[in-house]
Structure 1
């Protein structure tokens, strides 16, 4: 955006970057923790300590992988794609196109199905897009995305179908609509509903910000 489109990049301003990133991390961690807890309470998951030989290396590996994915995917989808489409067709079209593209992007992952793509579209594409439209800040969205992936990985839950060597082993019980099946937490209807519940207030806040005074 800076060198090709030649426009300013306030969404990556260093001012308040740390605060926004921390807010995003807290939001993402609460989202995944609440989704997991609900599924556990409904009998869908049980966890057991994996007793890893080197838990520190597992934590660092989870952080590195989650951080890389969060930065790269948010720069592409919310930093470039969403804003380019928003300029051409408005916020709602941009949110719809990027959400659908984000869902389709995960179809090649292990355990992916048509439902998992729909789930990613709704819970991740819409939530992360709403987070950006609300905060107009990529640090917040990257923090949210990072905490989401890192916590899943540390819990031993597959991240978008990709197996995770976490601090725990997780056993899924019951229907795939509850547990997400082989795709993991992101294929659960619980996560979809909770993601939309969080996204809706963000979209309302974004719409209010966009209204002329």
Structure 2
């Protein structure tokens, strides 16, 4: 019996969240590339300490060699990305639009769309899901628990494509969280700042209750 190969994951962003994601993903057995906005040599030293098994790469190369791309960059940098890079990729949007922190950004000033819906529309060749945005980067590592642990934290994943949602749910589970799947992507508004589960440490049952309320 053969085992299906694990997807290669690219993390775009080497600030607070990106390196922690690279760490937990490599420790879960995934091959991970990580990229900042410029020369990968600039982040090589810090990554050797924070996530030594992740490979610093130029952003375009990291995306090209990946199956899954995680957007963990400052929101104001998103508009500069080339949408063509992401054609055929599954993209996890971890970003949040929070004007008190980010300032007003015209691209995301749309009351009729959540921020990940704007990301989806900006990347028409990609399959976009929303996840990892409603847990603090400082908790991503420490909050992990093995399957079946009574205090295992739940994280949501929202998207329009059932296969992509299930794929990322598998990633969440393998990293150390109980996945809650939400469809379509508009349901991911519950994961945004101000939503019922944003920043909340909830088990699977409590998470589902908060989403349903």
- Between Structure 1 and Structure 2, the one with more strand by share is 2
Whichever structure has more helix as a proportion of its residues is 1
Q: Which has the higher contact order (CA 8 A, sep 6+)?
A: 1
TM-score by length of 1: 0.25
TM-score, with normalisation over the residues of structure 2?
0.25
